[in-house]
Amino acid sequence: MSDIANENENKNLNEGKKTDSATKPRTGQKFTKKPNPNKKPKSNKPPIERREFTPEENAEFFRLVQSLEVEDMKKAVDMVYHGADVHVREETGNTALMWAAGQGHTPLVRALLKFGAKVNEQDSMGRSALYWAARGGFAQAAKVLLAAKADPNLMTEWHGSAILAAARSEGTQVSLDLIKAGADVTIADDYNMSAIMYAVRRGNLTVFEALLDAGVDVHLISEQGDSLLTLAAFGGNAEIAETLLDMGFDINFKGSLGETALVKAARRNKVKFVKLMLARGADRTITNDEGKTAEEYARTGTKNGVNPNMVALFEAKAQLEPKPNTKPNKKAGKAVKNQTTEKAETKPEPKAEPKAEAVIETDKAPAPEKKKAQSVIKKVAVKGKSGKTGKKLI
């Protein structure tokens, strides 16, 4: 057995040697390396030589930076690589980096930062490159600036910041990135408007929810006297309004111009928002400083005319009334139904019109109760206004 095993082992070794010798090149034989199709060929271009630009050349460079033309921006990038002054400023203090960020030209932003542009410089009003990118809603430019250690909490003269600028514009992704980067979401500007206030005024549900998760104060009142709910009427996002109502916001709170959220939404033709307000029991009899109700605005319409869907909401107000807390007596209801049926059988020609008029009259709130309701609302609104003091709603 041992002799047979040794023979097999020697056989395997010899076969392995043959295999190895077959793969090894013979003496004087060379292998040619196959070219990699994915590998980029080496550039034969000479390295770019940077030189000092003349004042005239730098002026031309800055003119290109301010241009909105794509070709001009490409030329500006090329000039940066050839030695243009990246620190050049105009009289207002705006730098080339601010202009590039404010126009969302990310390649130029990268080039300027690569050659030493200062990321946290501010203009004469305190606005930085990140502020300008946030204001324009340019997410890619903002990401590049944040990666270069741009400060998200630099303040402007009117106490504004990048997160406020992003929330005020359409910069959803910029707002989310700034929140992740540690932007102070509690900042309010000189109008006592915070980021979440601007978000609800825009109707931006995504930013609103992100700011709620960040733990912002939702009870601030703007300088003009608006709460989050009355501000939400501008954007008309019913989902935001429903969340605020579930949080306990006063549905009949009077904001700027003495208007409730219902009145503001009716003026702006926000049908879904108005539908929600009516369904949740908003007082449709409350008037604004001009003495007009939400229904009056619905019937007179906006610049685009009267919206029949809006008018239909108020015409169907009986169906939209909130259900009472007490359960109705079903037996009494049946008795009333039987009585009306018997009357209909005995009297083939009932006077239906006077009854309909009576229903319409009783649907209107009596004048004393209406005045009383308005006076209560005014007290709450005045008590809730804080301007810059930041007092909370009750």
pLDDT given for residue 207 in this prediction: 97
| Mean of pLDDT values over 184-199 | 95
| Rounded Cα distance, 189 and 201, in Å | 15
Q: Between 44 and 55, whose confidence is greater?
A: 55
Please say if the pLDDT value at position 92 is more than 50: yes
Highest mean pLDDT among 87-91, 125-129, 336-340, 369-373: 125-129
pLDDT given for residue 100 in this prediction: 97
Please say if the pLDDT value at position 243 is more than 50: yes
Helix axes 205-213, 238-246, angle to 10 degrees: 30
pLDDT given for residue 322 in this prediction: 53
Cβ burial of 164 (10 Å; 0-12, 13-18, 19+) is: buried
Instruction: State pTM to two decimals.
Output: 0.69
pLDDT given for residue 301 in this prediction: 86
All residues at 6 or more sequence positions from 191 whose CB lies less than 8 Å from its CB, including other chains = 222, 223, 224
Q: How confident is the model at residue 58 (pLDDT cuts 50, 70, 90)?
A: very high
pLDDT given for residue 335 in this prediction: 38
For the ranges 94-108, 173-187, 236-250, 303-317, the lowest mean pLDDT is seen at: 303-317
Q: Between 7 and 99, whose confidence is greater?
A: 99
| Mean of pLDDT values over 15-23 | 48
- Correct CATH for 247-325+378-394 of 3.90.850.10, 1.10.357.10, 1.25.40.20, 1.10.3720.10: 1.25.40.20
Please say if the pLDDT value at position 39 is more than 80: no
* 110 strand-pairing partners: none
Per residue in 72-91, pLDDT (tens digit) is: 999 999 999 999 999 999 98
Helix axes 195-202, 228-235, angle to 10 degrees: 40
Please say if the pLDDT value at position 202 is more than 60: yes
pLDDT given for residue 304 in this prediction: 80
Percent of the chain, pLDDT > 90?
A: 63
pLDDT given for residue 294 in this prediction: 96
Per residue in 323-348, pLDDT (tens digit) is: 544 444 443 344 334 434 444 444 44
pLDDT given for residue 28 in this prediction: 55
The pLDDT mean for the chain works out to 79
pLDDT given for residue 33 in this prediction: 61
pLDDT given for residue 133 in this prediction: 98
Q: How confident is the model at residue 179 (pLDDT cuts 50, 70, 90)?
A: very high
Residue 215, φ and ψ in degrees, nearest 5: 80, 35
Per residue in 258-274, pLDDT (tens digit) is: 999 999 999 999 999 99
For the ranges 144-148, 189-193, 324-328, 333-337, the lowest mean pLDDT is seen at: 333-337
